[in-house]
Amino acid sequence: MLPTLQLQDRILVEKIRPRLNHQLHLGDVVVFSPPTRLTAGGYDPKAALIKRLVGQAGDTIAVEGGQLIRNGSPVDEPWIAEAIDYEMDAFTVPEHMLWLMGDNRNASLDSHLWGPLPDENVIGTAVLRYWPLNRFGQIRISETLSSG
C-alpha cells in the first residue's frame, strides 16, 4: 500500500460498518482475511491484509495504458505514484465480491492476481493512522475517487 501506508505505520480499523452490512465505498482502504487462493498458497488464514477497494459487485474493471478503468472510464487515483506497468482484461465483479488493489500497483499481490474477494472476508476499513505521530491523520479518502 505504499506510498499511502509505510511499513511502520499503525492504523485504527473501523469494524462496525461491515458487520452491519453497510456498503463500503470505492476508495476505502479495506482490511480483510486472505482469500482461499492465497491461503491455499500458504498464507496464514488468520492474517489481516490491506488493499484499496476499486470495484464492487457489477463493476467492470480493467487496466489499459497504465490506468485503472472502471465501467469504461479511467479512474482518477491521486494516491498512485506511478502508472501501472501491466494490462488486465476487463472483468465484471460478481455479486457479494469486491475488487481490491494495492496503491503500489506494480508490486502488489492483489485482485489482479488472485481475483475477487468475497465480501464476507472484510474485517473493516482503515480510518486513521496514529503512528508515527508525524504522519498522524485520516486515511479514508474515498470521497476523492472518481471516474473521468
In a domain, 141, yes or no: no
Would you state the pLDDT for residue 129? 78
In a domain, 63, yes or no: no
* Among 70, 38, 48, 61, CA closest to 1: 48
In a domain, 114, yes or no: yes
Q: How many domains does the chain have?
A: 1
Q: What residues pair up with 69 in beta bridges, in sequence order?
A: 62, 74
In a domain, 73, yes or no: no
Q: Whole-model pTM?
A: 0.83
In whole angstroms, how far apart are CA 82 and each of 2, 85, 104?
11, 9, 8
CA–CA gap between residue 23 and residue 36 (Å, rounded): 23
In a domain, 129, yes or no: yes
Query: What CATH number should be reported for the domain holding residue 115?
Result: 2.10.109.10
How confident is the model over 7-64, as pLDDT tens digits? 787 766 788 776 676 788 999 999 999 999 999 999 999 999 999 999 999 999 999 9
In a domain, 113, yes or no: yes
In a domain, 20, yes or no: yes
How confident is the model over 85-143, as pLDDT tens digits? 999 999 999 999 999 999 999 999 999 999 999 999 999 998 867 677 887 777 755 44
- In sequence order, what are the residues at sequence separation of 6 or more whose Cβ sits closer than 8 angstroms to the Cβ of residue 113? none
DSSP-derived secondary structure letter, 98? E
Question: Can you tell me whether residue 127 is helix, strand or coil?
Answer: strand
Comparison of pLDDT for 2 and 78, the residue scoring more: 78
Would you state the pLDDT for residue 136? 77
CA–CA gap between residue 32 and residue 109 (Å, rounded): 13
Range(s) of the domain holding residue 123: 10-55+96-136
In a domain, 125, yes or no: yes
Length of the chain: 148
